[in-house]
Each structure stands twice: as C-alpha cells, then as structure tokens.
Structure 1
Amino acid sequence: MNLQVQLVEEENSVQHFKIIGEIDVYTAPKLKEHLAAVEKAVGMQAELDLSEVAYMDSTGLGVFVGFYKAVHATGGHVKITGLNARLQRLFNITGLGSIMDIVTEEGEDKDATV
C-alpha cells in the first residue's frame, strides 16, 4: 500500500501533517524523508494525524522516535493524534505512549511531561 504524507496546514506555528496508508519497512523511508524535510526550527510544533493509518510496524515507530528526538532537541513539541486501538497499543507496549504527547481516536489525552 502507498503512504501519503501531507502538510495539511500551518497555523500559529504548528505544522499539521496527515499521514495516510500503512507504515512498514517499505514505506517508512518515505515517511522519514518527508519528516526530515520539515524545517526543524527552534521551538517547532508539529502535529501528526495518524487517523488514516491502519497498520504500522516497528520500523514506523523508529521513524517517529527519530523525528520526536530531533524536534525535542531544539525545544520543539510533537503531538500524535488519531491513533486507533491497535496503534495505541503498539505505542504503549513499547513505552513510547508514556513519553510522547498522544491523543487517541477517542480524544483521550495521553500528554506526558517531557
């Protein structure tokens, strides 16, 4: 399946991305390339909407961890939204759910102090 990464809008210095498709060993490099191309200005704010991602493996998690670290290193913030139950479980069993700012599909805020 193809993967689409769209910069939906930028408002109040927050860049909103919509990610559509499956994130696996084949599509993760494309996701990484799109996220790496985003200017990582000091204090950058990014929101990644995964509401149309049905599947993700550990390769995809690695891409999000790398992006999170790069943005966090410059004093920025990454929020991940729209996780379905399967993706939420993946983030939780790896411990990333307690580190990253995650808002589930149901709207439950899993904001963590970082």
Structure 2
Amino acid sequence: MNVSIEVKEKDNVSYVTLAGEIDAYTAPKVRDELMEAAKGDDVKLIIDLSGVNYMDSTGLGVFVGLFKQLRSNNGDMKLTGMTERLQRLFDITGLADVMDINTEVEGGV
C-alpha cells in the first residue's frame, strides 16, 4: 500500500495530512517530506494522522527523528486525529508522554 502526504501552510504553521500505511516501504517518503517541512527555525507542524490505518516501528522512528529535529531548532509539532490503535502504539512506547498528541483532528487549512 502507498501513503499520501499533503502539506499546506497557513499563518506560519504547516498542516500535514497523512493517509495510508507508514511502514518500512513508505517511511522513507514520509520522512523526506516531513523533514523538508521541518526545515528552518521555529517551525510549527500539525500532523493529521486520521487517515493512517497502519504504522510500524519504522513509522514511529520517523516521528521520533522529526520530533528531535524540530526541538533542536525551537520548532514544535502536534499529532492529531489518531485512531485508538495508533494512540495505543504511542502510549506503549512512551512517546505519548513526550509528544503533543490530540485524538481530534484540527482544521485550519
């Protein structure tokens, strides 16, 4: 399966919508797109994961790397629209304790 990535900007915030599966096959594409959106200082990302139906540890690694990149440049990200399954994945790994996660989808663009 593939993954689709859409990035829109509004008021100095990048809104990213992901859909599909984030696994070993699609993670490099997701990583490249997200890292491009995260370039620069004080970048703010809101990432909608409501369309993601599967994520493995490779996908989690993408978000850990993105989180570190943003934090090192005074940036920030919020993950939104998580399904119960994805939320559980972030909870089990402890990432939900350090990342800003909201199960609701945030509009804006």
- The reply to whether TM is greater than 0.5 is yes
Question: SS state of the match for residue 83, structure 1?
Answer: coil
What CA distance in whole angstroms lies between the structure 2 residues aligned with 1:71 and 1:36?
Answer: 9
* Aligned alpha-carbon RMSD (Å): 1.5
Match of 1:112 in 2: none
List runs of 5+ in structure 1 lacking aligned partners.
Answer: 108-114
The residue type equivalent to 2:67 in the other structure is Y
Structure 1: distance between partners of 2:41 and 2:11: 14
Unaligned ranges ≥5, structure 2:
none
1:90 and 2:97 matched: no
Match for residue 30 of structure 2?
31
Distance 1:74 1:91 in 2: 23
- 1:86 maps to a residue whose letter is R
TM-score by length of 2: 0.92
C-alpha distance after superposition, 1:21-71 (max 9, x if no partner): 001111111101111222522111001100000100000000000011101
Aligned length: 106
Identity of aligned residues (%): 48
Alpha-carbon distance change, 98 to 39 in structure 1, aligned in 2, over 3 angstroms: closer
Aligned to 1:71: 70
Q: Which of 1 and 2 has higher RCO (CA within 8 Å, sep 6+)?
A: 2
The equivalent residue for 1:45 is: 44
Q: What is the CA–CA distance in structure 2 between the aligned matches of 1:36 and 1:96, rounded to whole Å?
A: 19
Contact 2:50-2:105 at 8 Å conserved across structures: no
State the distance in 2 between where 1:106 and 1:20 align: 13
Q: What secondary structure is seen at the aligned counterpart in 2 of 1:29?
A: helix
